């Protein structure tokens, strides 16, 4: 009996000791005991060591927002906290939105993906291709075929990133003028043979949209996408109030030990000026994490949102399946980067959106960084890993 009493006494003392530890262990150590870490405990350390200024994240499924969180600062100098309503330059995340708008014209039977661009923009009829360069001498030749709408949306047209006229910023020319300058610029490669990431291609597709729809590109975007989806803060021209909510842009300081404020080099200031700034279909949009998530949810639902169909199944498949040939390594759809079970796009200042079809998740990551010091570039991956572990049903 004494042995049993001793055993019970030891067990009771052990239990009391463990219970006491629960009150003494800091919350930050609870994951060690099996509890999943909160996202703030994973992202805030990047802010504290000056590797990240701040971030906003949204995770959603087909029907609802699962979480929306903000971290750090939208303005480090004034110590203005980042908020869910902070606005970001989403840059190249504009490309898939433009591509979706173009595909609505395909659904209406007004254009075909394999139509030559010159069918709608005659200025492209005499375009040539660079065949050879010898020092300052350039030898040109005719293209094997006219560039197509499919090729300009998938970066396979041979158009350059931009034309010589788009300097010093990319938003200083009306769309008609900018696209006219692309028609006068020789193709860098034969159409359909090489992947050349090209703002010019997406802008050309947007100009076709203008001509075919009879509406300015920006008005068509509002009518067909932004207003119906409730993307109330997505715009090429922030209002004065919205400009005050734009997160400051940061880059690594000279010795790469911390951050310093910078400006968006591709755009003219003030951003509100409609008289000097023109919509840039390949990279000019400003948006919030929640607005962007709505667009992504529509795409996760294969072109449907809140009972309204925005895209046909056929157009959805074209946008989100690989359009680049196996002869190139880049896997790109129409306006979207595509991978195994996912598609999405990033932006020049490190924003990102990913639609994971197999997991049924939308992941939106909003920051405003022209590069990162230290390990700041790892923060997005930390967020994605956390979101997958917490919300994935796979």
d(CA 390, CA 60): 12
Q: What angle do CA 247, 79, 287 make, to 5 degrees?
A: 15
CA distances from 384 to 35, 364, 388 (A): 18, 9, 6
pLDDT (tens digit per residue) in 271-284: 999 999 999 999 99
Architecture field, domain 37-98+216-391: 3-Layer(aba) Sandwich (3.40)
Question: For residue 5, what pLDDT band results from cuts at 50, 70 and 90?
Answer: very low
Which of residues 5 and 277 earns the better pLDDT score? 277
Residue 28 has pLDDT above 70, yes or no: no
Asked if residue 287 lies in contact with residue 232, where contact means CB atoms within 8 angstroms, the answer is no
DSSP state of 38: P
Question: For residue 76, what pLDDT band results from cuts at 50, 70 and 90?
Answer: very high
pLDDT of residue 300: 98
Query: Which tokens is 48 given?
Result: 């504290």
110-213, CATH topology level: Methane Monooxygenase Hydroxylase; Chain G, domain 1 (1.20.58)
Q: What is the mean pLDDT of residues 116-136?
A: 95
pLDDT of residue 370: 97
Q: What is the mean pLDDT of residues 361-366?
A: 98
Which of residues 104 and 134 earns the better pLDDT score? 104
Q: Which of 295, 350, 286, 287 is nearest to 55 (CA)?
A: 350
Q: Which of 236, 157, 169 is nearest to 195 (CA)?
A: 157
Asked if residue 127 lies in contact with residue 186, where contact means CB atoms within 8 angstroms, the answer is yes
Residue for token pair 């360069």: 133
> Could you tell me the residue ranges of all domains in the chain?
37-98+216-391, 110-213
Minimum mean pLDDT range among 29-43, 101-115, 196-210, 342-356: 29-43
Average pLDDT, the chain: 92
Asked if residue 59 lies in contact with residue 363, where contact means CB atoms within 8 angstroms, the answer is yes
pLDDT (tens digit per residue) in 210-243: 999 999 999 999 999 999 999 999 999 999 999 9
Q: What is the mean pLDDT of residues 161-186?
A: 97
Question: For residue 63, what pLDDT band results from cuts at 50, 70 and 90?
Answer: very high
Residue 19 has pLDDT above 80, yes or no: no
User: pTM for this structure?
Assistant: 0.90
Asked if residue 315 lies in contact with residue 107, where contact means CB atoms within 8 angstroms, the answer is yes
Q: Count of residues for the chain?
A: 394
81: left (phi over 0), alpha (psi -120 to 50) or beta: beta
Q: What is the mean pLDDT of residues 71-79?
A: 97
pLDDT (tens digit per residue) in 307-359: 999 999 999 999 999 999 999 999 999 999 999 899 999 999 999 999 999 99
Which of residues 394 and 58 earns the better pLDDT score? 58
Question: For residue 30, what pLDDT band results from cuts at 50, 70 and 90?
Answer: very low
pLDDT of residue 35: 59
Q: What is the mean pLDDT of residues 22-42?
A: 59
pLDDT of residue 134: 87
Stated as kind and residue range, the H or E segment containing 129 is: strand 129-134
Residue 172 has pLDDT above 70, yes or no: yes
Which of residues 145 and 8 earns the better pLDDT score? 145
Q: Which residues, 6 or more positions from 58, have their beta carbon under 8 angstroms from its beta carbon?
A: 65, 67, 68, 289, 290, 292, 293, 362, 363, 364
pLDDT of residue 13: 45
Stated as kind and residue range, the H or E segment containing 94 is: helix 94-107
Residue 10 has pLDDT above 70, yes or no: no
Query: Which tokens is 329 given?
Result: 């390594």
pLDDT of residue 14: 44
């Amino acid at each position: 009996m004494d042995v049993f009493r001793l055993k019970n006494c030891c067990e009771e003392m052990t239990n009391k000791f463990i219970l006491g530890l629960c009150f003494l262990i800091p919350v930050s150590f609870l994951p060690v005991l099996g509890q999943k870490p909160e996202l703030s405990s994973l992202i805030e350390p990047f802010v504290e060591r000056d590797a990240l200024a701040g971030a906003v994240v949204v995770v959603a499924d087909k029907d609802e927002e699962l979480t929306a969180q903000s971290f750090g600062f939208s303005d480090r100098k004034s110590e203005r906290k980042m908020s869910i309503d902070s606005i970001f330059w989403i840059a190249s995340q504009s490309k898939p939105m433009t591509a979706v708008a173009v595909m609505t014209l395909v659904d209406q039977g007004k254009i075909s993906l394999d139509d030559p661009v010159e069918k709608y923009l005659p200025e492209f009829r005499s375009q040539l291709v660079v065949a050879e360069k010898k020092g300052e001498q350039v030898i040109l030749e005719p293209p094997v075929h006219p560039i197509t709408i499919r090729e300009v949306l998938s970066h396979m047209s041979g158009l350059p990133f931009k034309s010589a006229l788009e300097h010093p910023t990319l938003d200083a020319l009306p769309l008609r003028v900018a696209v006219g300058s692309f028609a006068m610029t020789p193709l860098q490669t034969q159409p359909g043979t090489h992947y050349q990431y090209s703002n010019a291609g997406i802008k050309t597709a947007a100009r076709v949209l203008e001509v075919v729809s009879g509406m300015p590109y920006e008005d068509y975007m509002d009518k067909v996408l932004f207003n119906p989806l409730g993307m109330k803060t997505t715009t090429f021209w922030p209002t004065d109030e919205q400009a005050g909510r734009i997160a400051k842009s940061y880059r690594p300081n000279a010795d790469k030990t911390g951050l310093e404020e910078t400006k968006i080099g591709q755009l003219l200031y003030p951003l509100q000026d409609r008289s000097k700034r023109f919509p840039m279909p390949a990279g000019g949009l400003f948006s919030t994490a929640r607005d962007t998530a709505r667009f992504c949810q529509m795409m996760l639902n294969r072109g449907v949102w809140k009972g309204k169909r925005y895209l046909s199944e056929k157009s959805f498949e074209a946008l989100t399946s690989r359009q680049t040939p196996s002869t190139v390594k880049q896997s790109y759809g129409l306006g979207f980067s595509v991978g195994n079970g996912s598609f999405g796009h990033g932006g020049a200042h490190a924003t990102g959106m990913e639609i994971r079809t197999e997991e049924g998740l939308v992941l939106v990551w909003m920051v405003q960084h022209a590069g990162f010091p230290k390990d700041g570039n790892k923060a997005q991956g930390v967020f994605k890993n956390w979101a997958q572990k917490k919300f994935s049903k796979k």
